[in-house]
Structure 1
Amino acid sequence: MITKEDSLVHKLNFILNKIPFAVLLEDSNRRLQFTNQNFCQLFNIEAKPEQMVGFNCAEAAEIVAPLFKNPEEFLNRIDEILEKKVAVNQEVIELANGKVFLRDYLPIFNDEVFEGQVWIYYDYTSTRRMEYENIRHKEFYERILHNIPADIAVFDKNHRYTFVNKIAIKDDIIREWIIGKDDFEYIQLKEKDINIAKVRRALFNTVIQEKNPQEFVEENIKKDGDVQFNLRRMQPFFTEQGEVDYVVGYGMDITSIKKAEEYIRRKEQNFAQIPDMLSIVVVIIDKALNIVFANSSFESVFGYPPSEIIGKKIEEIALSDMVSIRRDIELYETNAITEDAPKEFQFKDKYGSTKYLTYSLMPYERADVAETNYALFFNDVTDQHLAVSELQKIIEKERRLNELKSGFVNIVSHEMRTPLSVIQSSAQILELLNGADRVTKELLTLHTNRIVSEVGGMENLMEELLLVSKIESGKIEFKPFPQNLSSFVKTLLFERYSPYNDGRYMRFEERGTLRELAFDRVMMQHILNNVINNAFKYSSGRKPPVIRLRYGINKISIIVMDFGIGIPEKDRQNLFKAFSRASNVDGIKGTGLGLLVVKYFLEFHQAKLRFKTKVNTGTCIIIDMIENPALDV
């Protein structure tokens, strides 16, 4: 008679054997009362869980201690935990082979009487490596951004800061505080004019609504009363759906340019003395575009002393492109207007070094000669340009990733176009036949079958795409357990390939001593279906394919041989890439995703795939399944 207690124990044993953790239950004398299969697998114990009941766990700990990085510390820690009898959660343990486990400990008390404890172990190796890698990448890119000589900030869609570099906010405490805050909170903290935050918010909203970058000059009154001008730009970045994902803002100090322009406009009568006091380059040209003046800063930027270029044409000061300057002069002469915003260009100086400059053009009337002259103000922004260029490289990297995704979608759309055309044409023919006087059953069946076939092909493509997406996003479960591979293959052949749709049967062979193998049934079915179906599909009209199981030393090999068209040498290196198919398939249908999925599923099993092939002779696929690999279950 089975009591309720027996039933409960049975259910608990079933549950504990199914959970993806290694569980060990000891009594108060450290005698093993229960363990599950995951525990045996995690510690490479060949005995079955039920055979271990009654073992002395203290002696067992001494045996497995050499598996850990510090055996003595491992044993001392167990003694310490047992002495305190206090629950322990997610304690990190390092193994000698580089793996990392997490350990939980739970003491068991009944009416304050200690009755034993539960130990739970998890394989944390892959997760820890990913965490370290993510931290390393984050620190790498932050180090770059922090050292770019420009104000850089990243905002979410609600205009809240998600990153600020050290150039923008030097104070570490404030820079950490501002994450998740907005400009209104920052302005309040710094006791600045609230209108600064309002202007920034209005421009940010424009970026979000119009999905275009915005550039503006911001004036800030410093503590000493001086005005600082910052040229700021807000650049949106988008999701695959075209929505704004985040906004990058960066700014450069253009105070010197603004002040120089304003100073020159106000003090034109003292122009001859002022230019040499400026850090920017000032060049004056007459109406014929001859250089009539250059200040002392000219040499530091262009490499020539001013005396060498006076009287020469503007093109002779080594600029690579004078189209923009000439266009501004022509615009002024025809419409009497020019653009005030600085423009950027690059050139090579006297020594061959590439530099980046911004320039502004200001026409004015010279009273002494009664003609219009033009003042050009050049500012060396090479350092700022290189900083922005580094940021753009990071942004370009993200853009390329988005383009890869878009290319993926474009390829899929091309794969869908042909079957849709076939379905449409067959549907139109059926519509015409519906009104005809004499319609044969064979004709209706032909076009109906074409539609069904193409819909099936589209379904296969979508299923493959969804499967690849699940795999790449880590949303697919891997559930291996020991089972009879021979029975699995025979059942698959009987259910799906007895016979194949062209009437052929696959020959099944076995060599070696049959034994069980741990594998995931769903993944293995997908692997075998793909390679078997390919063997039939690409050997139409020839001898039927052969599948053989070969039980070797420490591995079981699955061999699938066909006598078909083979794979050209030029196509072999792309065999496992998405949407890649051999050049000799000649209209044989396929998604180009099957072997990619096979590759992913074999990686789950830590299995290897080899192949031998010869055009017009056949292909042999060899899958080596390693026995008892350290699978992450």
Structure 2
Amino acid sequence: MDLRFILNEVPFAVLLEDNQRRLQFVNPNFCELFHIPIEPDQMVGFNCEQAAESAAPLFKYSQEFLERVKEILAKKEPVRQEMLELADGRFFLRDYLPIINNNFFEGQVWIYYDYTYAHSLEVKKNNQKKFYESILLNIPADIAVFDKDHKYLFVNKRAIKNDEIREWIVGKDDFDYVKFRGRDIRIAEKRRALFQEVVNQKDCNEFLEENITPEGNIQYNLRRMHPFYADNNELEFVVGYGMDVTSIKNAEENVNRREKNLAQITEILSIAVIVIDQSFNVIYTNSSFESTFGYASDDIIGKSINVIAVENISSLIKEIEFTKQSGSFEGSTKEYRFQDKYGSRRYLSVSFVPYNIAESNEVFYAIFFSDVTDQHLAVSELQKIIEKEKRLNELKSGFVNIVSHEMRTPLSVIQSSAQIMEMLSETDRLDKEAVDFHTNRIVSEVGGMESLMEELLLISKIESGKVEFRPFPQDLESFVRVILHEKYAQLADGRQMQVIVKGVNHEVEFDRMMMNHILNNIIGNAFKYSEGKKAPILQLHFRQHAVTVMVVDYGIGIPAKDLQNLFKAFSRASNVDGINGTGLGLHVVKYFTDFHKAKIYCKSQVNKGTCIMLEFNYKSYSNAKNSISRG
């Protein structure tokens, strides 16, 4: 088979030079990409150095383009995914591969990809990231993110107003900051101790920090640190956020000093205030109570505090009860979730303070509810952004790794087979048997490359929300049998999958394309990983509300340590050496089963076999979205 035929059909631009920089081959995609108005065959023999100088004006930075080409040629080292910007606004990715046989340099291959659309998506993603960062920068609460060594990764404008200092502090810690500001080093030591406490306890911590403003006033900041851990239980980062609670603190002190003016003081506060007696009945609420909870004062006064829809309010009552019995008050502040009168779920920072009226010596408790929903959601959104960036980086890294490995081997096989046939042809020793052998190798490797590209393109469509979901009621048993007949009835080793049906056949709503991919992947894996063993079994069990599809093989099995990553992209079991695969098939299967709102289970033992089970409900998806979106 002529290798040029294959290279003419690949979806990227290819140019092959010899060691004298004479053009040996160029495919049609290259001419199309660079708008070359002549046929590829007419370019063979061109001086590639002169051609590069002629093409340089096409690039935005033409001189840098020529210097970079010289640098690559001098090093003769592979180059992957190098981005180039063109004068007309397009963006290309460039690969370079030197051809070295027996330590002899024979030439090089240049490969170009049109990256314009993907680059625009990347720019859009970066703009979106900047948008969310802008939100975090301007949220009316102090927000800071620390790495595991307590160095700043991010600080918003509320925490540090000065833009230069805010940029300067990234990568530094509180010791650097207090030294820069000329403040007491004990501030940094206290913050470091609190940070270590949060990390050691693996739980959030809240504390009240007292500072002196430039005007000489005392400022109280209610701060919280929350650690976030990866799946492997390793600390990733710590989020700290705080509120200026000086007004609240002053209000609490005024309550203790001037209890008769409690109503006047609390009415001017922006936080909700409730006063309860020793029987936990509400005797007072301020005007902010109604705006926070949605209940009028008349609806709550005289009733137990338990009627407020705050989750775990019993823990607050226990704290107050402990204060009553022990006479000891430590002034803790905690966060609670609550649901207002209209069903909206919000978050409150709650603290309380006991006080007594001198005339009666009766103790009351003022409870302060501060709505911190925005701060809570901001931290949650920040975590989502970080997780999304992490997932995109993992996908990108996995994509580069899988392409560099899975494409290099088949290309080497194709090249060696073509060269062997060329050598045999020159010596008149090329017989039909040799042609068939090497042709089959090339076709097989091209098929593997095609399968890899199809899976990568499918994942790309899924990630961008371009895969439509079109379920309708169908006969699942017939669908399964057609797949087995068309693709697995005449396997080379003669094995055939036995189908066992239990229960009464029932129509199931599913998307044909997705179900075809799910079943083909699971059945194909069952055969592929059990070569030389008895044939796998497929069982359909129609039950009252759902049908289960179970595929059992008796092959190499999956090590227990690999099961948790079975459905992740580019993840393969550690015992599959010598068996082709990309680690993408089951990743797509998980996408498609999730979209059907189905469940998937896997049980396996090494050298005994694997069982994959799917469970589909008999239900309508008429209200489901019609496309996949991985936001």
Shorter-chain TM range is: 0.5 to 0.7
Q: Which residue of 1 aligns with 2:21?
A: 34
For residues 6-36 of structure 1, the C-alpha deviation after alignment (integer angstroms, 9 at most, x for no partner) is xxxxxxxxxxxxxx995769xxxxxx96335
> Alpha-carbon deviation of 1:197?
1.9
Q: Which residue of 2 aligns with 1:172?
A: 163
State the SS of the aligned residue for 1:34: coil
CA distance in 1, matches of 2:557, 2:434: 27
1:74 correspondence with 2:58: yes
Q: Which residue of 1 aligns with 2:351?
A: 360
> Is the Cα–Cα contact under 8 Å of residues 60 and 85 in structure 2 kept in the other structure?
no
CA distance in 1, matches of 2:64, 2:369: 73
State the SS of the aligned residue for 1:167: coil
> Alpha-carbon deviation of 1:41?
8.4
Please point out which of 40, 45, 48 is paired with 1:52: 45
Amino acid at match of 2:210: E
1:250 correspondence with 2:241: yes
CA distance in 2, matches of 1:81, 1:379: 59
Amino acid at match of 2:302: G
- Between 301-310 and 183-192, the greater mean CA deviation after superposition: 301-310
Task: Sort the Cα spacing of 1:580 and 1:146 in 2 relative to 1 into closer, same or farther, 3 A.
Answer: farther
Q: Which residue of 1 aligns with 2:185?
A: 194
Amino acid at match of 1:598: G
Q: Structure 1 length as normaliser, TM-score?
A: 0.54
1:478 correspondence with 2:428: no
CA distance in 2, matches of 1:120, 1:261: 75
CA distance in 2, matches of 1:399, 1:193: 37
Q: What pairs up with 1:105-504 in 2 under 5 angstroms?
A: 123=112, 125=114, 129=119, 132=123, 135=126, 138-139=129-130, 141-209=132-200, 211-239=202-230, 241-268=232-259, 270-271=261-262, 273-306=264-297, 309-315=300-306, 322-338=313-329, 340-394=331-385, 471=401, 478-479=408-409, 480=411, 482-483=414-415
Task: Sort the Cα spacing of 1:486 and 1:475 in 2 relative to 1 into closer, same or farther, 3 A.
Answer: closer
CA distance in 2, matches of 1:149, 1:330: 34
CA distance in 1, matches of 2:60, 2:160: 48
> Is the Cα–Cα contact under 8 Å of residues 21 and 120 in structure 1 kept in the other structure?
yes
CA distance in 1, matches of 2:211, 2:135: 27
Q: Which residue of 2 aligns with 1:589?
A: 555
CA distance in 1, matches of 2:283, 2:240: 40
> Alpha-carbon deviation of 1:221?
1.5
Paired residues, what number? 446
Amino acid at match of 2:45: M
> Is the Cα–Cα contact under 8 Å of residues 282 and 295 in structure 1 kept in the other structure?
yes
Please point out which of 547, 552, 573 is paired with 2:518: 573
Amino acid at match of 1:154: V
> Is the Cα–Cα contact under 8 Å of residues 356 and 363 in structure 2 kept in the other structure?
yes
Task: Sort the Cα spacing of 1:168 and 1:370 in 2 relative to 1 into closer, same or farther, 3 A.
Answer: closer
Task: Sort the Cα spacing of 1:214 and 1:36 in 2 relative to 1 into closer, same or farther, 3 A.
Answer: farther
Amino acid at match of 1:576: N
CA distance in 2, matches of 1:287, 1:261: 18
State the SS of the aligned residue for 1:43: helix
> Alpha-carbon deviation of 1:589?
0.8
Q: Which residue of 2 aligns with 1:92?
A: 84
CA distance in 1, matches of 2:194, 2:60: 62
Q: Structure 2 length as normaliser, TM-score?
A: 0.54
- Between 194-203 and 300-309, the greater mean CA deviation after superposition: 300-309
CA distance in 1, matches of 2:356, 2:516: 71
Task: Sort the Cα spacing of 1:161 and 1:579 in 2 relative to 1 into closer, same or farther, 3 A.
Answer: farther
> Is the Cα–Cα contact under 8 Å of residues 147 and 236 in structure 2 kept in the other structure?
yes
CA distance in 1, matches of 2:87, 2:24: 20
For residues 479-530 of structure 1, the C-alpha deviation after alignment (integer angstroms, 9 at most, x for no partner) is 51555879999xxxxxxxxxxxxxxxxx99979x979958869978x99xxx
Please point out which of 589, 593, 598 is paired with 2:581: 598
> Is the Cα–Cα contact under 8 Å of residues 485 and 517 in structure 1 kept in the other structure?
yes
> Is the Cα–Cα contact under 8 Å of residues 24 and 119 in structure 1 kept in the other structure?
yes
CA distance in 2, matches of 1:317, 1:601: 50
CA distance in 1, matches of 2:165, 2:188: 17
State the SS of the aligned residue for 2:369: strand
Q: Which residue of 1 aligns with 2:507?
A: none
Amino acid at match of 2:521: F
CA distance in 1, matches of 2:212, 2:403: 50
Residue segments in structure 1 that go unaligned for 5+ positions in a row: 1-19, 26-31, 105-117, 406-467, 490-506, 528-537, 547-560, 603-633
State the SS of the aligned residue for 1:203: helix
> Is the Cα–Cα contact under 8 Å of residues 216 and 233 in structure 1 kept in the other structure?
yes
> Alpha-carbon deviation of 1:161?
2.0
- Between 95-104 and 193-202, the greater mean CA deviation after superposition: 95-104
> Alpha-carbon deviation of 1:372?
3.2
CA distance in 2, matches of 1:169, 1:589: 60
- Between 34-43 and 153-162, the greater mean CA deviation after superposition: 34-43
Task: Sort the Cα spacing of 1:509 and 1:391 in 2 relative to 1 into closer, same or farther, 3 A.
Answer: same
> Alpha-carbon deviation of 1:52?
0.9
CA distance in 1, matches of 2:192, 2:345: 37
CA distance in 2, matches of 1:207, 1:81: 51
> Alpha-carbon deviation of 1:336?
3.1
CA distance in 1, matches of 2:490, 2:151: 65
> Alpha-carbon deviation of 1:53?
5.6
State the SS of the aligned residue for 1:274: helix
Task: Sort the Cα spacing of 1:477 and 1:162 in 2 relative to 1 into closer, same or farther, 3 A.
Answer: farther
> Alpha-carbon deviation of 1:301?
2.9
State the SS of the aligned residue for 1:300: helix
Task: Sort the Cα spacing of 1:376 and 1:189 in 2 relative to 1 into closer, same or farther, 3 A.
Answer: same
Between structure 1 and structure 2, the one with the greater Rg is 1
CA distance in 2, matches of 1:212, 1:184: 24
CA distance in 1, matches of 2:317, 2:60: 82
> Is the Cα–Cα contact under 8 Å of residues 571 and 583 in structure 1 kept in the other structure?
no
Aligned residues with identical type, % of pairs: 38
Task: Sort the Cα spacing of 1:369 and 1:509 in 2 relative to 1 into closer, same or farther, 3 A.
Answer: farther
> Alpha-carbon deviation of 1:46?
5.0
Q: Which residue of 1 aligns with 2:496?
A: 564
- Between 283-292 and 363-372, the greater mean CA deviation after superposition: 363-372
